[in-house]
Every structure is written in C-alpha cells, then in structure tokens.
Amino acid sequence: MATGLSKSAITENIMVGFIGAGRMAQAMAKGFISSGLVRAGNITASDNNQQCLQILQDLGANTTRKNQEVVTKSDLVVLAVKPHIVQPVLREVAPIVKSDTLFVSIAAGVTIESIESNLPAGTRVVRVMPNTPALVSAGASVLTKGTTASDTDSELVKALLSSIGICEEGSESYLDAVTGLSGSGPAYAFVAIEAMADGGVKQGLPRELALKLAAQTLLGAAKMVLETGKHPGQLKDEVCSPGGTTIEAIASLEKSGFRGALIDAVEVATLRAHALG
Ligand code: NAD
C-alpha cells in the first residue's frame, strides 16, 4: 500500500471487514464497491441480524455471524457497531488480532485511547466521525489517526470514506465540535427544510411542492458554496437586490436571531458530545 499510487491501486487487493452490518456498514460497503475501490468479494461482514447480513450478501460481500472470522480475513476492520458494543467486541476479537490489521472505528464518542487499550499494543487505529448523509453518498467525515497509525493508513481511510462523501483529517480534539456541526447538523437542516416548507404552505403552496422546493434550495445553496469556493456572505450579497425581497427576508431572519440560534446549536451539541465522551 505505497503512497503515490492511484486510489484503486492502493485498495485493489485490500480485504475489508465490517463488525456490525447495520446502516452505516451497508452505506460504506456500497460506496466502497460502487466506486471500484474494493472488490465485493474482498469484503466480509459480521452481525447477529440476518436481514442486515442479507443486504451485504446482495452486494456480493461475504457474511458471517462470527466477529473473529472478520478479523482473521481482513486487512482493515471497520467497527460499525453502536458505541456501547465496541468494548465487548474488542475484548472478543483482541486475542486473534494480527499485528498488521488496521482498525477503523466509526462509533460516536468512543475515544482512540479506549480502542487502543482494548487491542494488542501497537495495533493501528483510525477513528472517524461520519454523518447520516453518508447513507446517500453525501456524507461529511473527519478522521483522526491513532498513536501508531501511519499517513498511509489515513490516506487509505480517506480514499475509502471519500466514496460516501467528503473526508477531512483533523485532531481528535476536534471531534466533539465535528459532532456538534456535521454529526448533528443534518437535523438542523431538516428543521430548516420543514420550516421553509411550512412558510411556503402558509403562503398557499401545496405541501409536496413546498417541501421539494425547500430541500432542493438547501441542496443547491450548499453546492454553490462548495463548488464556487465563494464565501457564503458574498453569495448572500449577490442574491440581495437593493430594496428587494431577499434582503427583506434576511433582515427578518437577523431580527429573529437566526445566526445566533445556529451558533448556539453547534455549541450545545458540542458540549453534549463532550459530556457523553
Ligand atoms: P445500526 O444499529 O444500524 O448498526 C449496528 C449493527 O450492529 C446492527 O445491525 C446490530 O445488529 C449489530 N450488532 C449489535 N451487536 C453486535 C455484535 N456484538 N457483533 C456484531 N454486530 C453487532 O447502527 P449504525 O447507524 O450503522 O451505526 C453504527 C455506528 O456508526 C455507531 O457506533 C454510530 O455511533 C456510528 N455513526 C452512525 C452515524 C449514522 O448516521 N448512522 C453517524 C455517525 C456515527
């Protein structure tokens, strides 16, 4: 797995395992396979839920009910169980972990220290904080390397995570704020979409049309920020004609404390993530 190779060359023969074959594992496996980064036959997933395993089987992956089998077969193991299941799973698999297996945890709030301390000394760990839009290949993830993981490991995980959205690297100390921003953020956007649609309905639009317009408007605005590279303030200025409708609405949002409400939302979610971690 040398750096400087193309992404597909980096991952071509890699054996990937998932412990836990729920929603996130399914989304990741789909992304890895459809992007051509990992062969379906090189994936093994374990779960005790047959319906979840069937979804992985339908993708062409191998499945098992034995977590240890996943670890035996894989170069990279994704821990995709709920946070409180991570420790028991690590204790279960630790005795058979090979020295060259890379562990990738996506469990919210589970620290690198607690993962490393439950695995043989020196085991390479990468922690990732993804978000729900990963389920529709529009996720935003931040990864952080454990004490012995290499730059090649983070490059590999970044390449894989990029198949289900964007992936950035940052310090573990960022992850509570990442949880407060992109982890919880989809819910803020859902509330905004619902409220904008309510506004449209109040002004006489049919509900279905209002909802579609609200969702597409947030999607389009987000794409403009990401694709033009322009500051959102500049984009806002560009749609506010003097004496026009949009500046009227912006003034109303400012009076209602719209910016402050969002800043506070990120802050309280960050504090909550810290308290839970
Ligand atoms: P999920 O409940 O859909 O999947 C978890 C799976 O683990 C289930 O299918 C369950 O049957 C299986 N499982 C339970 N005990 C097990 C065991 N002992 N061995 C093997 N499998 C077992 O959950 P999810 O939404 O896919 O979340 C997985 C992880 O991803 C969580 O730790 C969560 O914090 C993290 N995460 C999820 C999201 C999200 O948007 N869903 C976002 C950020 C982080």
- What value of ipTM does the predicted structure carry? 0.98
Among 81, 137, 178, residue to substitute to test ligand 1 (most atoms within 8 Å of Cβ)? 81
Q: How confident is the model at residue 5 (pLDDT cuts 50, 70, 90)?
A: very low
Ligand 1 site residues, Cβ closer than 6 angstroms: 19-25, 46-49, 52, 67, 80-83, 85, 89, 106-108, 130-132, 183
Q: What is the pTM of this model?
A: 0.91
Q: How confident is the model at residue 109 (pLDDT cuts 50, 70, 90)?
A: confident
The arithmetic mean of pLDDT across residues 131-155, rounded, is: 95
What is the CA(79)–ligand 1 centre distance, in A? 8
> DSSP code of 150?
-
Q: Which atom of ligand 1 is nearest to the CA of 107?
A: 32
* Predicted local confidence at residue 59, as pLDDT: 97
CB 249 within 8 A of CB 217: no
Distance from C-alpha of 97 to C-alpha of 79, rounded to nearest angstrom: 14
Which residue lies with its CA nearest to atom 42 of ligand 1?
Answer: 131
What is the CA(217)–ligand 1 centre distance, in A? 31
CB 196 within 8 A of CB 217: yes
* Predicted local confidence at residue 125, as pLDDT: 98
The tokens 């303030």 sit on which residue?
Answer: 233
C-beta atoms surrounding 205 within 10 Å: 16
Among 18, 19, 24, residue to substitute to test ligand 1 (most atoms within 8 Å of Cβ)? 24
The mean pLDDT of the chain is 94
Q: Which atom of ligand 1 is nearest to the CA of 134?
A: 40
What is the CA(234)–ligand 1 centre distance, in A? 40
**pLDDT for 41-94, tens place per residue?**
999 999 999 999 999 999 999 999 999 999 999 999 999 999 999 999 999 999
Which residue lies with its CA nearest to atom 2 of ligand 1?
Answer: 22
What is the CA(95)–ligand 1 centre distance, in A? 23
What is the CA(120)–ligand 1 centre distance, in A? 23
* Predicted local confidence at residue 152, as pLDDT: 95
The tokens 């590279």 sit on which residue?
Answer: 229
* Predicted local confidence at residue 63, as pLDDT: 98
Q: Taking the mean position of all CA atoms in its chain, how far away is CA 63?
A: 23
* Tokens standing for residue 16: 């990937």
Residue 179: name the closest of 153, 147, 146, 140 by CA.
140
Distance from C-alpha of 258 to C-alpha of 261, rounded to nearest angstrom: 5
What is the CA(80)–ligand 1 centre distance, in A? 5
